[in-house]
Structure 1
Amino acid sequence: MRRGSKNDLNCMERVIFFEANRSSRAGMIAVGNVVMNRVASDDFPNTVCGVVSQKGQFAPGVMTRPMNSKALPDVREAAIAVLRGERQRGVEKARFFHTYGYRFPYNNMHYVLTAGGNTFYEKRKSHLVTQPYPPAPID
């Protein structure tokens, strides 16, 4: 796995921008952590761009829409930090997230963190879920 290449940085910026650009820094780092957890998993592509460009996984147009915002310097800084190994405490092994406040009828969502308007979770067998509801936001 190549970390920190120009393509990785661009893809990480794009996912953080479209999933968390109006977010706190913790929320931006957490989104990047989910990407890196997926890269490390055998269940997903083994590159940042491979993960981010997977159809239906992230915001529509994540790889094609223009990024225009005053948030871009913060997004870039967060993307660089994630690629250099920074992790948001609490994300741990989570490979999924959704907008905080949404509810789903699934019984396999073990919630670990809420930050930046998103709530992060691991998929587990239902009998191993000990946190079935999103925790309070940290920011």
Structure 2
Amino acid sequence: MKVRMAIPLASMVVVLAGCSFGNRHSPLECMERAMYFESNQSSRDGMIAVGSVVMNRVVSDKYPNSVCGVVGQKNQFARGIMTRRMDGKSLPKVREAAKSVLRGERHPLIGNAMFFHSASYRASYDNMHYVLVTGGNAFYERRHRDLVTQPYPPQSIEGITRR
């Protein structure tokens, strides 16, 4: 004779609160999502730059120490980055770039930059040292204002960034 126990709905919610019902992603999937939603319409150069920023954050003690922890951090990347659908048509080029960054490729001009915003955005802060504009984004390091030597994004001409 089997005995079934009724589990109150409230108890199930508490037990399952830590589960993500299929929303768990591998580091590759998280990197793809960052590249896709932050630079999908850009070149490979732009995707590698976004991936380099993600990896700079992973190794920093100021951010989570995993790709998914960094990419999923609230208010840091595109809204809905971990839940929105990605178009399968552009996924092969995104996947190749994501794998390359996870294997160690970094954009040569990113350096220690851990931040970026749309290249058209003009911030009023005086602690942003810009290192690169590519893929529609301007990448920068935060520095003490006295150490900022490039307060405006460098000019990008035909895919070549001038510093």
TM-score normalised per structure 1: 0.94
CA contact (8 A) 1:111 1:132 kept: yes
Aligned-residue identity in percent: 63
Amino acid at match of 1:31: V
Shift, 1:69, TM fit: 4.4
Amino acid at match of 2:99: I
Shift, 1:137, TM fit: 2.1
The answer to whether residue 95 in structure 2 is matched with residue 76 in structure 1 is yes
Map of 1:11 onto structure 2: 30
Shift, 1:85, TM fit: 0.5
Q: Give structure 1 stretches of 5+ with no counterpart.
A: 1-5
* 2:73 aligns with one of 54, 71, 93: 54
Map of 1:88 onto structure 2: 107
Task: Give the 3-state SS of the residue equivalent to 1:35 in structure 2.
Answer: helix
The worse-fitting range, judged by mean Cα deviation, of 6-15 and 57-66 is 6-15
CA contact (8 A) 1:22 1:71 kept: no
Q: How big is each residue's C-alpha offset from its partner over 1:28-70, in whole Å with a ceiling of 9 and x where there is no partner? A: 0000000000001000000000000000000000000010142
* 2:145 aligns with one of 123, 126, 131: 126
The answer to whether residue 46 in structure 2 is matched with residue 23 in structure 1 is no
Q: How big is each residue's C-alpha offset from its partner over 1:102-127, in whole Å with a ceiling of 9 and x where there is no partner? A: 10110000000001110100000000
Amino acid at match of 1:106: Y
- What value does the CA root-mean-square deviation take over the aligned residues? 1.0
Distance in 2 separating the partners of 1:54 and 1:14: 13
Amino acid at match of 1:43: K
Task: Give the 3-state SS of the residue equivalent to 1:111 in structure 2.
Answer: strand
Q: How big is each residue's C-alpha offset from its partner over 1:51-109, in whole Å with a ceiling of 9 and x where there is no partner? A: 00000000000000010142111100000000000111110100000000110110000
Number of residue-to-residue matches in the alignment: 134
The answer to whether residue 112 in structure 2 is matched with residue 108 in structure 1 is no
Task: Give the 3-state SS of the residue equivalent to 1:114 in structure 2.
Answer: strand
CA contact (8 A) 1:112 1:120 kept: yes
Q: Which runs of 4+ in 1 moved over 4 A?
A: none
Map of 2:56 onto structure 1: 37
Distance in 1 separating the partners of 2:131 and 2:113: 7
